Amino acid sequence: MKTKDLYKILGVDRGASQEEIRRAYRKLARRYHPDANPGDKEAEERFKEIQHAYEVLSNPEKRREYDEGPRTFFGGGRPGGGFGAGGFSDLSDLFEGFGGLGDIFGRAGRRETGPRRGEDVTVSVSLRFSDALEGVTTRVSVPVEAVCEPCRGTGAAPGTAPRRCPQCEGRGMRSRDQGLFAFSEPCPACGGRGVVIDRPCSACGGGGRVRTNRRVTVRIPPGARDGMKIRVPGRGSAGRDGGPPGDLYVVTRVEEHPVFKRRGDDFVVEVPVSFVEAALGAEIDVPRPEGGRLRLRLPAGTQEGRQFRVRGAGAPKARSRGGERGDLIVRVHVVVPRKLRRREREILEAFAEERGEDVREELFKKVESWT
Share of the chain above pLDDT 70, in %: 84
pLDDT in tens, 280-330: 999 999 999 999 999 999 999 999 999 999 999 999 998 777 779 999 999
Contacts of 12 (CB under 8 A, 6+ apart): 20, 21, 24, 57
Residues 237, 247, 186: CA angle, nearest 5 degrees: 55
Instruction: List Cβ neighbours of 107 (8 Å cut-off, separation of 6 or more).
Output: 92
- List b or e across 159-173, with b for residues whose CB sees 16 or more CB atoms inside 10 angstroms: eeebeebeebebbbb
Instruction: Tell whether residue 168 is among the known ligand binding residues.
Output: yes
CA distances for 37 relative to 55, 77, 87, angstroms? 22, 21, 21
151 among annotated binding-site residues = yes
pLDDT tens-digit map of 191-245: 788 889 999 999 998 889 999 999 999 999 999 999 999 999 999 999 988 889 9
CA–CA distances in Å: residue 135 to residues 129, 318, 319: 10, 9, 12
Report pLDDT for 60: 84
> pLDDT, tens digit, for every residue of 33-50?
877 777 788 888 888 888
H helix or E strand, kind and range, residue 177: strand 173-178
Question: Residue 150 pLDDT more than 60?
Answer: yes
* Domains of the chain (ranges, CATH numbers): 6-107 (1.10.287.110), 261-355 (2.60.260.20)
Q: Is residue 340 a known part of a binding site?
A: no
pLDDT band at 22 (very low <50, low <70, confident <90, very high): confident
Quick check: 360 pLDDT over 60? yes
More confident call, 235 vs 16? 235
Is pLDDT larger for residue 132 or for residue 321?
A: 132
Determine the average pLDDT of the residues in 168-197: 76
148 annotated ligand binder: yes
Condensed to tens digits (0 to 9), the pLDDT of residues 56-112 reads 888 888 888 888 764 444 444 443 344 444 444 344 444 444 444 444 344 444 444
Q: Is 204 annotated as a binding residue?
A: yes
Read off the amino acid at residue 369: S
Provide the mean pLDDT of the chain.
84
pLDDT number for residue 177? 60
Query: H or E segment at 308?
Result: strand 307-310
The answer on pLDDT for 1 being more than 80 is no
Q: pTM for this structure?
A: 0.61
Q: Residue 178 has what pLDDT?
A: 54
pLDDT of residue 181: 54
pLDDT at 215: 96
Q: What is the pLDDT of residue 104?
A: 39
